[in-house]
């Protein structure tokens, strides 16, 4: 495979990953494609193409989407390695937890352990 072909394949893979993150974020906050497309002032089909990785996203569009979805740009670009591998709801919780005091984070951790134990007890 030539360098050009490898670069093209990498671009397509990155667009698909970006599209996946954008779709997950949209669904997480409960918006329909039509609503987001109206917000961006683009056709819904263009948003479908973005979310499927078939269309490049303009920087201005990505910035608007990040604001709408209440996520940092780095989450969508993959530069935030700590949260890019996490489900969007978990990444959101992690960012919010980071803003808490140490005492509150400790309490949150205990609460998470309680929820986990309760969930496991319900399975048996």
State which H helix or E strand residue 26 sits in.
Answer: helix 3-28
Q: How does the average pLDDT of the chain come out, rounded? A: 86
- 78: alpha, beta or left, given left = phi > 0 and alpha = psi -120 to 50? left
- Residue 71 has what pLDDT? 85
- Least confident range from 50-54, 103-107, 120-124: namely 120-124
- Residue 87 has what pLDDT? 79
% of the chain beyond a pLDDT of 90: 48
CATH architecture assigned to 1-82: Orthogonal Bundle (1.10)
What crossing angle do the helices spanning 33-40 and 44-51 adopt, rounded to 10°? 110
Mean per-residue pLDDT for 11-23? 92
Which of residues 76 and 82 earns the better pLDDT score? 76
- Give the whole-angstrom CA distance, residue 41 versus residue 92: 26
Domain residue spans in the chain? 1-82, 86-124
Coarse DSSP helix, strand, coil percentages of the chain, rounded to the nearest 5 percent? 75, 0, 25
Mean per-residue pLDDT for 103-124? 86
- Residue 22 has what pLDDT? 95
Residue-wise pLDDT tens digits, 29-72: 999 999 999 999 999 999 999 999 999 999 999 999 999 998 88
Mean per-residue pLDDT for 9-28? 91
- Residue 119 has what pLDDT? 87
Question: Taking Cα atoms as reference points, which of 108, 92, 111 lies closest to residue 100?
Answer: 108
């Amino acid at each position: 495979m030539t360098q050009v072909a490898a670069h093209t394949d990498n671009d397509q893979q990155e667009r698909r990953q970006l599209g996946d993150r954008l779709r997950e974020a949209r669904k997480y906050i409960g918006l329909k494609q039509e609503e987001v497309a109206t917000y961006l002032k683009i056709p819904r089909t263009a948003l479908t193409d973005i979310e499927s990785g078939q269309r490049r996203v303009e920087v201005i569009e990505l910035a608007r989407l990040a604001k709408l979805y209440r996520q940092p740009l780095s989450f969508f670009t993959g530069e935030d390695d700590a949260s890019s591998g996490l489900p969007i709801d978990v990444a959101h919780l992690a960012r919010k937890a980071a803003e808490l005091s140490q005492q509150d984070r400790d309490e949150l951790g205990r609460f998470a352990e309680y929820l986990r134990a309760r969930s496991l007890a319900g399975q048996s």
